[in-house]
Structure 1
């Protein structure tokens, strides 16, 4: 895809000389992803795919819910093994592909996929709740709009020891090119963080690596000039560590991540700035949220409904 028809025609000609290809015109449905034109862009959604998942789970008639995860945990959680673990794995795996156009599902699906090896009835109930949320948002997808800005900016966030089982932290980030979300991640950290600053700094190192890669890709395809990317973090300790070497002696256990991010900041490749927690977009990737907060951040990720005719 591109905005130069001559270059596109030349590329198609070269491809057709080597491979047997057929030009199908504008994309409408590809790999389960539908493309719906909006006034100022396109909406990527997986309506058919979501409907198919609900049919496989036998939940087409269930009532929808406003959020995929409850903010409060039940007083007692069942540890009884689920009687059909293959079904659980199949549907949880299908939900993973749904996050391609639904970043608002990333945290919930990440939790579900942590129990693939031995799901319990409690995990199945959680999966059904996610599907009930999907049922109520069948018309939603990821919106990509025309943007006059080429600024690259990213939001990084992490909880601290949020998993009650192994006390590992969950980190997430969202990378925007202009106004469009182009990359996002929700994952549990591989090691236990000894402080909230360490947990946040690990997340910062991950998004720094992602931004550097996206910068390289944009330069390769000829997008220039590119302003210095901005990384937004709501932890003052992690923010100060990027610019103030005096904190290094207190955090030698994260020395590799420290040097990686610090070197990029010193070279002027990125900027790390503080942002209040209330404006932290990546908050949606790290914990269950109440409906008002969840909906607010979902809108910030450009997850919207199909425009009415």
Structure 2
């Protein structure tokens, strides 16, 4: 992190509380950035940082989408990420012991959040016991016709990830046999997972996303509704105001490692 700040000439910059702005949208601009190589090097290095700093995932993912069409606005967006890093140099992912062996995951989607192509951003967080072990922030490949479809796609993505985790734990002899719990804040998406009556309303949804229904029917997964304020995956799908971002960051176990020592 210190090396990144040094490369960008921002060692003495003023820190910020969040890595992404909630008020300034990234839109096309006519003013190109004059040093695209620097932009690509720093954003590339930031991708490695997200291996342990999941609070940067959304901002870094968004920065990666403009590698070939750089503008000064995009560079300002990266500088904001670096200013956030400046204030959290001692932060990292905390792992701790837990007596339980449950698997639970949160999935979320920001419907049509990109103002350029109107695609949605999916995000999820997978917990084993009390520890966060997998997370993702990624723009969906197709445009969703409704918020339910966008959320359903995100739910299918996390279902595939949890299926792999369960398979691995079974090989290691660590799986308890209890169903994994998936948390989603969209009522329509939770209905689609358990109620085949809604099939007529989902003819436009790609069939590969419907495998989550089979997992629910077989008892491998339980899909529950979670309130938006308790949706931990929110941090992977959109910019958040400072207080909410910090609260979710703490719940995802990204904390000051100095205070933990």
Bin of the TM-score, shorter chain as denominator length: over 0.9
Distance in 1 separating the partners of 2:197 and 2:15: 52
Structure index of larger Rg? 1
Q: Are 2:66 and 1:115 aligned? A: yes
Which residue does the alignment assign to 2:254? 303
Give the number of equivalent residue pairs. 260
CA-to-aligned-CA distance 1:98-146 (integer Å, 9 cap, x gap): 0011111000000000001121111001100100000000000000001
Residues 53 and 224 of structure 1: CA distance in aligned 2, closer, same or farther (over 3 Å)? same
Which residue does the alignment assign to 2:236? 285
Q: What's the CA shift for 1:242?
A: 0.8
Which residue does the alignment assign to 1:234? 185
Which residue does the alignment assign to 2:112? 161
Which residue does the alignment assign to 2:50? 99
Distance in 2 separating the partners of 1:159 and 1:224: 32
Q: What's the CA shift for 1:204?
A: 0.4
Q: What's the CA shift for 1:208?
A: 0.3
Q: Are 2:164 and 1:213 aligned? A: yes
Which residue does the alignment assign to 1:256? 207
Distance in 2 separating the partners of 1:167 and 1:77: 13
Q: 1:85 aligns with which of 36, 40, 62?
A: 36
**TM-score w.r.t. length of structure 2:** 0.96
Distance in 2 separating the partners of 1:119 and 1:149: 47
Q: 1:201 aligns with which of 139, 152, 156?
A: 152
For structure 1, the 5+ residue unaligned runs are 1-49
Kindly indicate whether the alpha-carbon contact (under 8 Å) linking 2:123 and 2:236 is maintained by their aligned counterparts in 1: yes
Q: What's the CA shift for 1:262?
A: 0.6
Which residue does the alignment assign to 2:224? 273
Distance in 2 separating the partners of 1:131 and 1:258: 36
SS at structure 2 position matched to 1:145: coil
Q: What's the CA shift for 1:75?
A: 10
CA-to-aligned-CA distance 1:251-295 (integer Å, 9 cap, x gap): 111141453111111111111111110100000111110000000
For structure 2, the 5+ residue unaligned runs are none
Which residue does the alignment assign to 1:130? 81
**TM-score w.r.t. length of structure 1:** 0.82
CA-to-aligned-CA distance 1:1-31 (integer Å, 9 cap, x gap): xxxxxxxxxxxxxxxxxxxxxxxxxxxxxxx
RMSD: 1.4
